[in-house]
């Protein structure tokens, strides 16, 4: 029998069909096993665990289909140890069973750092030294003296704190600054659209205090930004407390509120520029920048 005759024979056709059917059956079985293994089509909604204690979350049925992974712990004053500060994926996300939820929790206490020396330094240098050490600025107070813009005292909870003393990171340090006049004014720094942390540093370095904060949306480091502030004058008196309105930049209303504030303050800036020549001589002493 020739090869051509064999190909046309019933035996060859029968075996060829069996091979094709076996191949298709194998593909079907593999596909079925993959669906079972990956739980194809079976999804779960990520629960909201942010703000809850980790211990309570781990003992609840809400996270039975998820693996909780702690990626960081941060000390936050006034927040109970083990409180979940953030989670990823976000609540409401649809994921497969076994998906990891990465969380950041509140630590028991802050890292111990050494208090830097701010005395006899400029306000800007002192603020930067505190930031570098992992500390915050509490209240900036002023008193009249011979040398302007020099820190003459550093206080922690109302008591003078010496350089080199151990202190928990994240604590607020009050600064007493000597100036030539407590009625002098400074230029308002550009904090619009800045993150909460960057805005605070800019205000402190300008000799201003951080006032009341109003949050809209999730408080998230690096994404909570300033959309408006008060007072909104171009020049403010030293030591003034600046209230901040902050919105998470992932929200649709973030850019809208930012643009609205810019538009509402555009007219004020034009008026200030028009009257600048008339008021320059009268405000020469009060409106000059101290730093």
Mean pLDDT calculated for residue range 232-248:
94
Which pLDDT score is estimated for 62?
86
Sorted by where each starts, the structural domains of the chain and their CATH numbers stand as 43-106 (3.30.10.20), 110-182 (3.30.10.20), 184-274 (3.30.10.20)
Residue 256 has pLDDT above 60, yes or no: yes
Which pLDDT score is estimated for 238?
94
Which pLDDT tens digit goes with each residue over 182-196?
Answer: 888 999 999 999 999
Any idea which of 41-50, 151-160, 248-257 has the lowest mean pLDDT? Answer: 41-50
Any idea which of 13-17, 92-96, 281-285 has the lowest mean pLDDT? Answer: 281-285
- pLDDT category of residue 35 using cuts at 50, 70 and 90: low
- pLDDT category of residue 243 using cuts at 50, 70 and 90: very high
Asked if residue 150 lies in contact with residue 178, where contact means CB atoms within 8 angstroms, the answer is yes
DSSP code string of the chain:
--HHHHHTSHHHHHHHHHHHHHHHHHHHHHHHHHHHHHTTT-EEEPP--TTSBHHHHHTSGGGTTEEEEEEEEE--TTS-TTBEEEEESPTT-EEETTEEEEEEEE-SSPPEEEPP--TTSBHHHHHHHHHHTT-EEEEEEEEE-SSTTEEEEEEETTEE--TT-EEETT-EEEEEEEES-TT-EEEPP--TT-BHHHHHHHHHHTT-EEEEEEEES---TTTEEEEEEES--SEEETTPEEEEEEEETTSTHHHHHHHHHHHHHHHHHHHHHHHHHHHTTTTTTTTS---
Mean pLDDT calculated for residue range 60-66:
87
Which pLDDT tens digit goes with each residue over 64-111?
Answer: 889 999 998 877 767 788 899 888 888 888 888 778 999 999 887 677
Which pLDDT score is estimated for 279?
45
């Amino acid at each position: 029998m020739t090869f051509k005759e064999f190909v046309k024979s019933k035996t060859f056709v029968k075996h060829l069909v069996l091979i094709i059917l076996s191949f298709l059956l194998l593909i079907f079985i593999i596909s079925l096993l993959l669906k079972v293994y990956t739980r194809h089509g079976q999804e779960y909604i990520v629960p909201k665990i942010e703000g809850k204690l980790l211990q309570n979350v781990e003992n609840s049925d809400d996270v039975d289909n998820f693996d909780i992974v702690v990626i960081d712990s941060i000390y936050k004053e006034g927040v109970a140890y083990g409180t979940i500060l953030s989670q990823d994926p976000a609540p409401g996300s649809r994921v497969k069973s076994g998906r990891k939820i990465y969380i950041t929790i509140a630590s028991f206490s802050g890292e111990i750092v050494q208090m830097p020396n701010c005395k006899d330094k400029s306000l800007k240098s002192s603020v930067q030294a505190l930031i570098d050490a992992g500390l915050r600025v509490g209240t900036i107070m002023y008193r009249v003296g011979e040398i302007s813009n020099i820190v003459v005292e550093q206080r922690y909870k109302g008591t003078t704190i010496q350089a080199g003393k151990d202190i928990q990171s994240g604590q607020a340090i009050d600064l007493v600054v000597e100036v030539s006049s407590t009625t002098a004014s400074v230029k308002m720094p550009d904090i619009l659209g800045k993150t909460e942390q960057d805005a605070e540093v800019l205000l402190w370095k300008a000799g201003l205090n951080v006032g009341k904060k109003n949050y809209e949306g999730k408080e998230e480091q690096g994404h909570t930004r300033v959309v408006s502030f008060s007072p909104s004058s171009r020049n403010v008196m030293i030591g003034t407390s600046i209230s901040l309105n902050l919105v998470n930049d992932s929200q649709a209303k973030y850019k809208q509120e930012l643009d609205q504030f810019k538009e509402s303050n555009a007219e004020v800036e034009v008026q200030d520029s028009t009257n600048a020549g008339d008021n320059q001589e009268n405000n020469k002493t009060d409106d000059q920048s101290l730093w």
